[in-house]
Amino acid sequence: MQEELLVACLCAAWCTTCDAYKPVLAGLAADRPGLRFAWIDIEDDADALGEDALDIENFPTVMLLRDGRPLFHGTLLPHAATLARLLDALQAQALAPGAAAEVPPAMAAAVWHLGPLRPLPPAGP
């Protein structure tokens, strides 16, 4: 049975850097059809994410999960090569231990649950 990998971008509608990240993420999603990608607005989904979402202060924040387990949680600028290297390490199961040690379990579970409900929107003009 193949493990499921989720790449979730935790963003906010007002964040212009998040807007710049959308086409980067869409390009990587097209290149990696075996991964699930999600776009989760922390304000729209605040109830589902819980109070831990309030601790996200920088955008966009990327969370990588394997079968619901957080493997990475951090802010990334919209550089395709940076996220591509991170995804390569994820798929090779070579992420450094502790890359997601600070993710509260309830928030990881909420992101995992929201992932299929919040697919990456199509890149627009």
Backbone angles phi, psi at 70, to 5 degrees: -70, 135
Amino acid 3: pLDDT: 63
| Dist. CA 45–CA 34, nearest whole Å | 25
Tokens encoding 102: 């600070």
Q: CA of 18: how far to CAs of 41, 47, 85, 91, in Å?
A: 10, 21, 19, 24
Strand order across the beta sheet in which 69-75 lies: 36-41, 5-11, 61-66, 69-75
Amino acid 20: pLDDT: 85
Distance of CA 24 to the CA centre of its chain: 13
Q: What is the pLDDT along the chain (125 residues), one digit of tens a residue?
A: 456 888 998 888 888 888 888 888 888 889 888 889 999 988 888 888 877 766 777 778 888 888 888 888 888 877 888 888 888 887 777 766 666 667 778 878 888 888 888 887 765 55
Amino acid 33: pLDDT: 87
Question: What's the pLDDT tens digit per position in 38-67?
Answer: 999 888 888 888 777 667 777 788 888 888
Q: Which single residue is written with the structure tokens 């929107």?
A: 121
Amino acid 1: pLDDT: 42
Amino acid 38: pLDDT: 92
Q: Structural domains in the chain?
A: 5-117 (3.40.30.10)
Q: CA of 10: how far to CAs of 2, 61, 87, 107, in Å?
A: 25, 5, 16, 11
